[in-house]
Amino acid sequence: MPGFSDHRQQLTRPQLPAWLDRYTTLGLYGLLVGTGLCLVAFLTNPVPDPSFPWATLPESLRLPIAQPRIEHWPVTYTIGIWLWVFCFPALFLAGYQRYGDLDRGAALWLVELPTVAMLGWTTYCRFLWPKLHPPTWNAPAYTFVCWLYCSTYDSIWSNAAFLIALLGAVTTIMILQRTRRTKYALIGFGILALPLGLPALYEGARRARTEG
């Protein structure tokens, strides 16, 4: 029966602790708010992001005011981007809740997809991002080690980010193969990749509690 099947499926879905479930819900709203704040900057400033001077609205569509900037970016654009940074892990946690299971779901949603995201952003920032000068403490980045690169342009931090992403890939394989001591790899990757590593850190802490 459909009702029984839906109930059974709901029971088999992973359950997050209350604090993490609350973060996931608020994080999804935070992504929407962050998007809105970034769009506001397009209505007030002719060039919200100097890295992309072509991304602008015609003067006739802009408001007759201009926001002050925090370093290179307008205030609402800065806040919006940082909301995306700290709320982005909520996407993976929400996917894990909705579509995941305790084994393959944990590997995909809590480690593999964050690793792919980290690898993608690190590659983009290293080789494709039109860098602004001088570098600034306010440069948004999805992990703390990536922030060290984006705020200094020192390649050592970008290399470190690639190594951390490699650890995420190894951790994904360990989960799928049910390797012993996977919890340590999860915790290590989770801490090194914060805030993007929050889902992996949660899974590592959960396994540490249940496995002893």
- Residue entry with tokens 């190594």: 163
d(CA 74, CA 72): 7
- What is the percent of the chain where pLDDT is above 90? 85
- Kindly report, residue by residue over 117-176, the tens digit of the pLDDT: 999 999 999 999 999 999 999 999 999 999 999 999 999 999 999 999 999 999 999 999
d(CA 39, CA 12): 39
- Residue entry with tokens 């340590």: 184
Q: Which residues contact 97 (CB under 8 A, 6 or more apart)?
A: 13, 14, 15, 16, 21, 24
- Kindly report, residue by residue over 31-79, the tens digit of the pLDDT: 999 999 999 999 999 999 999 999 999 999 999 999 999 999 999 999 9
